[in-house]
């Protein structure tokens, strides 16, 4: 019993897009304990898609398709599969209803071409698409062949996979031994430094411990093989404890935790509030904080003081200090934090000023130089200098700056 | 004459890494005009690798392998290929020399396991690896089959491709025709709606026109086959013109253009400035605007008025109107835009207030309801209501809201 991933789309043959769907599905199949040995990418071409199906059914029992379910003429996956297995396409009224409703919600008009998406192979079950308009199918055209189709749009595919495909695959009793993983997340420590601290754990066989360098952060993935999630968790948790003790404050969360969700929990529990003042990040810090639903409980807002005039007008930064120390300085970072804290009357004020590049760097103030300011209760105020390296690009420097500011607050809140 | 990309590595079957090599090679083959119709991913397993080779040589003449050239026991690509074509492996002294030199440079000791990398199929040419220790091969085991192998490490693979593979492939006279593409970008129109407007163009053969749905936007890819980039552009430009005329203001840019880069050009040329007031997007609008290096020329900053108190204090929104119409209303959107414009004394003020969800929606004000406000010269002020659909997630609604605000300004600036 094995699965095969088939990604359909000429855009992948042209290199227009990165095939992230294959990686997602591969991870998911591993977690479900369903082996898969091949991944194939093929263009929007019926004859070639059929050849791929022919090969796939000769070596796998579950065929997972992504891409080619859309409304346009080059979206051919569903009809080609039906054609291959000699099954007619049948229009599904429930799909048309669902599409009509979604178009209405978005106050857009449904065009005749969309009706194409309602044509599914006879006998196939609908694999509902909660977010988009193109549904997938779960179909056994032959006793030994099971087909699942998904749109190429990752966000739509993910939800369809999690909400319908996973329960279905489990219900079939496929994947007896599961692989369950916990991802431990760290900020403010490098991959090699962390790896050295936990080196002995890399020799473990079940669970295994493996390091991954994420964007500006490091993760340790602890994976256990077991017959149930509970059994796997029992294997993982002592190792997880050990790692947390070794890492101390460099550890910030697990799995889907983010620095902003962790800070959210801390601020909510202490009943405190936060405001931000951003220069080089231009709003990214606020954006990351408000990625958390319900963040309005503790995040009140902030000022994007991209131009110096805004630093003076809305944050009360001293113009003489701006001239004397420059916008990218510890002094200005502190005044920004104090300014936003007092003007929005929040418990904490967090600020960022720096040089994101690629231009604007000097010998004394190179690209990647960033100051984080923090203002808190009892007139507490501090600033921290960071050098994120002139070799990094603008996006990376802005991303790391915003998250480093969050990490600064996180450590401060935990230090009490 | 076509090529096939074969990526070897169990880590891809486990979803540990994203297969960016396939995308790179796909782009490169397209640029060289060498057609390729299939990509395969297979694990580090000799039997399965052989099956893949068997299939590949039945449908392609150039087989491009990445991965599995390293020193560890699970690196089996080269020996498996040799085995498949019944060729012995021969140790190449020049490879050993090269490895010895590189290990010395890095003041590391070469281990016996590395010698494995010097074993290449009899008759194969070495495909030198300037940065790493594992060389690739260029080999014609049969007259109609050409094999190129590369390590999985992208940086090593790229250089080997550019320095040796490209000249070789050109020298073989393959890929006389290049494929050149332009990506036309649209905002504010759905994929099916746009597809119907330009439907006749989908029948063109050279250039071809194909639609892609991006995140909240639609793209049309115009691809031409020709002997030179100039010749390809000559084929594309009339079609591009035609599409632009059909799409009107829904068209916003090409290739790497973004709504923020387009707005940047417009504001810079008119010497005007912009500020933003954000509620549900929490800073995302400012962040997107400042993704453009040099945006400080026209973007001065803004206010993240997440909490209503900030709308009143920093933007001068009328508290009575907040009570009467609610924070998510046309009135408040307009007052936010006017407020930020006047307090930051910019030419334009752009505002967003809405319900990003997943919570906070009501029957009258559902999740996805967003108001964009715009204030401009001569006390001009307007607001626009959008319904992005309650089925969309928070991130999507925030992303589309921010870009829709940019699109509103773009259309306003172009309408003059």
Flag whether pLDDT at A390 surpasses 70: no
Kindly tell me the sign of the dihedral angle through the C-alpha atoms of A107, A113, A115, A118.
negative
Q: Nearest CA to A216 among A49, A368, A409, A60?
A: A368
Q: Give Cβ neighbours of residue B155 (< 8 Å, ≥ 6 apart).
A: B131
Q: Measure the CA–CA gap between A218 and A191, rounded to whole angstroms.
A: 6
- The residue of A2, A282, A393 whose CB has the most chain B CBs within 10 angstroms, and thus the best one to mutate to test that interface, is A282
Task: Write the CATH number for B286.
Answer: 3.90.950.20
Last residue of a domain, one of B143, B171, B199: B171
Q: Tell me, yes or no, whether B291 and B397 share the same domain.
A: yes
**CB spacing of A359 vs B293 below 8 angstroms:** yes
Last residue of a domain, one of A201, A226, A254: A254
Flag whether pLDDT at B283 surpasses 90: yes
Residues of chain A neighbouring B19 (CB-CB closer than 8 A): 18-19, 22-23
**Contact between residue B92 and residue B120 where contact means Cβ atoms under 8 Å apart:** yes
Residues of chain A neighbouring B37 (CB-CB closer than 8 A): 13, 42-43, 45, 48
Q: Tell me, yes or no, whether A244 and A126 share the same domain.
A: no
Q: Measure the CA–CA gap between B367 and A169, rounded to whole angstroms.
A: 32
CB crowding B128-152: b at 16 or more within 10 Å, else e: ebeebbbbbbbbebeeebbbbbbbb
Q: Measure the CA–CA gap between B238 and B261, rounded to whole angstroms.
A: 24
Flag whether pLDDT at B370 surpasses 70: yes
Q: Extract long-range pairs of A375-378: CB within 8 Å, 24+ residues apart.
A: A375/A334, A375/A337, A375/A338, A375/A340, A375/A341, A375/A348, A375/A349, A375/A350, A375/A351, A376/A341, A376/A347, A376/A348, A376/A349, A376/A412, A377/A347
Indicate the pTM of the whole model.
Answer: 0.79
Residues of chain B neighbouring A71 (CB-CB closer than 8 A): 191-192, 195
User: In this predicted model, what pLDDT tens digit does every residue of B31-69 receive, in sequence order?
Assistant: 888 999 999 999 999 999 999 999 999 999 999 999 999
**CB spacing of A304 vs B305 below 8 angstroms:** no
**CB spacing of B293 vs A394 below 8 angstroms:** yes
**What percentage of chain A exceeds 90 in pLDDT?**
80
Q: Tell me, yes or no, whether B245 and B385 share the same domain.
A: no
User: In this predicted model, what pLDDT tens digit does every residue of A176-231 receive, in sequence order?
Assistant: 777 888 999 999 988 778 888 998 998 899 998 887 777 788 889 898 989 888 99
Lowest mean pLDDT among A254-268, A286-300, B8-22: B8-22
Flag whether pLDDT at A110 surpasses 90: no
**CB spacing of B306 vs A285 below 8 angstroms:** no
Q: Tell me, yes or no, whether B318 and B373 share the same domain.
A: yes
User: In this predicted model, what pLDDT tens digit does every residue of B330-345 receive, in sequence order?
Assistant: 999 999 999 999 999 9
Residues of chain A neighbouring B182 (CB-CB closer than 8 A): none
Mean pLDDT of all residues in B220-225: 93
Lookup: tokens for A281: 């990040």
Q: List the single residue in A with minimal CA-CA distance to B29.
A: A14
Q: List the single residue in B with minimal CA-CA distance to A291.
A: B395
**CB spacing of A304 vs B283 below 8 angstroms:** yes
Flag whether pLDDT at B109 surpasses 80: no
Q: Which contiguous run of DSSP H or E holds residue A232? A: helix A229-247
- The alpha-carbon gap from B296 to the nearest alpha carbon of chain A, in Å, equals 7
What per-residue confidence (pLDDT) applies to B148? 98
Q: Which of B40, B300, B395 sits opposite A309 (nearest CB)?
A: B300
**CB spacing of A344 vs B309 below 8 angstroms:** yes
Mean pLDDT of all residues in B219-243: 94
Q: Tell me, yes or no, whether B111 and B162 share the same domain.
A: yes
Instruction: Write the CA distances from A133 to A294, B202, B310, B388, B399, integer angstroms.
Output: 28, 22, 38, 14, 19
- The alpha-carbon gap from A329 to the nearest alpha carbon of chain B, in Å, equals 18
User: What are the E-state strand segments in A155-216?
Assistant: 178-186, 208-213
Q: Tell me, yes or no, whether A274 and A234 share the same domain.
A: no
What per-residue confidence (pLDDT) applies to B352? 98
User: In this predicted model, what pLDDT tens digit does every residue of A133-166 receive, in sequence order?
Assistant: 999 999 999 999 999 999 999 999 999 999 999 9
Q: List the single residue in A with minimal CA-CA distance to B178.
A: A14
Last residue of a domain, one of A144, A171, A198: A171
- State the SS3 of B135-180: CEEEEEEECCEEEEEECCCHHHHHHHHHHHHHHHHHHCCCCCCEEE
Q: Tell me, yes or no, whether A115 and A156 share the same domain.
A: yes
What per-residue confidence (pLDDT) applies to A366? 92
What per-residue confidence (pLDDT) applies to A6? 98
Q: Which of B13, B310, B344 sits opposite A37 (nearest CB)?
A: B13
Q: Which of B15, B210, B301 sits opposite A27 (nearest CB)?
A: B15
Q: Determine the structural domain holding residue A186 and report its residue range.
A: 178-254
Residues of chain A neighbouring B196 (CB-CB closer than 8 A): 111-113
Q: Tell me, yes or no, whether B23 and B135 share the same domain.
A: yes
Mean pLDDT of all residues in B200-219: 91
- The alpha-carbon gap from A286 to the nearest alpha carbon of chain B, in Å, equals 5
Residues of chain A neighbouring B181 (CB-CB closer than 8 A): 14, 16
Kindly tell me the sign of the dihedral angle through the C-alpha atoms of A254, A255, A258, A261.
negative
Q: List the single residue in B with minimal CA-CA distance to A20.
A: B18
CA dihedral A9, A14, A18, A21 (to 10 degrees): 10
**CB spacing of B307 vs A285 below 8 angstroms:** no
Domain count, chain B: 3
Q: Nearest CA to B202 among B230, B239, B157, B229?
A: B239
Task: Write the CATH number for A76.
Answer: 3.40.980.10
Q: Tell me, yes or no, whether A124 and A193 share the same domain.
A: no
- The alpha-carbon gap from A238 to the nearest alpha carbon of chain B, in Å, equals 24
Q: Tell me, yes or no, whether A186 and A98 share the same domain.
A: no
**CB spacing of B394 vs A11 below 8 angstroms:** no
Q: Tell me, yes or no, whether B390 and B292 share the same domain.
A: yes
**CB spacing of A344 vs B51 below 8 angstroms:** no
Q: Tell me, yes or no, whether A203 and A228 share the same domain.
A: yes
What DSSP character marks residue B210?
A: E
């Amino acid at each position: 019993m094995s699965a095969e991933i088939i990604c359909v789309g000429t855009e992948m043959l042209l290199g227009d897009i990165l095939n992230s769907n294959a990686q997602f599905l591969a991870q998911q199949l591993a977690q479900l304990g369903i082996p898969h040995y091949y991944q194939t990418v093929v263009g929007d071409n019926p004859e070639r898609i059929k050849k791929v199906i022919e090969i796939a059914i000769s070596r796998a029992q579950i065929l997972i398709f992504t891409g080619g379910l859309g409304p346009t003429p080059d979206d051919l996956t569903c009809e080609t599969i039906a054609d291959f297995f000699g099954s007619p396409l049948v229009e599904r009224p429930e799909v048309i209803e669902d599409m009509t409703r979604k178009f209405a919600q978005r106050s857009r008009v449904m065009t005749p071409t969309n009706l194409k998406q309602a044509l599914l192979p006879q006998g196939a079950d609908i694999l509902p698409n909660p977010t988009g308009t193109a549904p997938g199918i779960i179909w056994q055209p032959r006793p030994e062949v099971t087909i699942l189709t998904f749109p190429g749009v990752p966000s739509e595919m993910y939800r369809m996979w999690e909400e319908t495909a996973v329960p279905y695959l489990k219900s079939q009793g496929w994947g007896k031994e599961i692989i369950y993983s916990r991802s431990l997340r760290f900020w403010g420590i490098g991959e090699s430094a962390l790896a050295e601290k936990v080196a002995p754990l890399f020799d473990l066989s079940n669970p295994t411990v493996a390091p991954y360098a994420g964007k500006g952060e490091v993760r340790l993935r602890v994976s256990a093989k077991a017959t149930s999630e509970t059994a796997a968790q029992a294997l993982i948790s002592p190792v997880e404890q050990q790692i947390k003790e070794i890492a101390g404050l460099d550890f910030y969360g697990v799995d889907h935790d983010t620095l902003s969700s962790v800070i959210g929990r801390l601020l909510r529990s202490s009943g405190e509030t936060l405001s931000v003042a951003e220069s080089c990040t231009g709003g990214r810090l606020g954006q990351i904080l408000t990625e958390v639903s319900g963040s309005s409980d503790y995040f009140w807002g902030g000022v994007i003081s991209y131009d110096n005039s805004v630093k003076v007008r809305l944050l009360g930064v001293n113009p003489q200090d701006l001239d004397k120390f420059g916008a990218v300085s510890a002094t200005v970072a502190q005044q920004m934090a104090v300014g936003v804290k007092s003007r929005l009357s929040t418990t904490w004020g967090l600020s960022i000023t720096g040089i994101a590049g690629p231009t604007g760097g000097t010998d004394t103030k190179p690209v990647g130089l960033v100051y984080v300011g923090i203002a808190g209760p009892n007139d507490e105020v501090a600033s921290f200098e960071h050098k994120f390296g002139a070799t990094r690009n603008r996006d990376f420097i802005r991303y790391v700056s915003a998250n480093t500011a969050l990490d600064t607050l996180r450590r401060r809140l935990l230090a009490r």
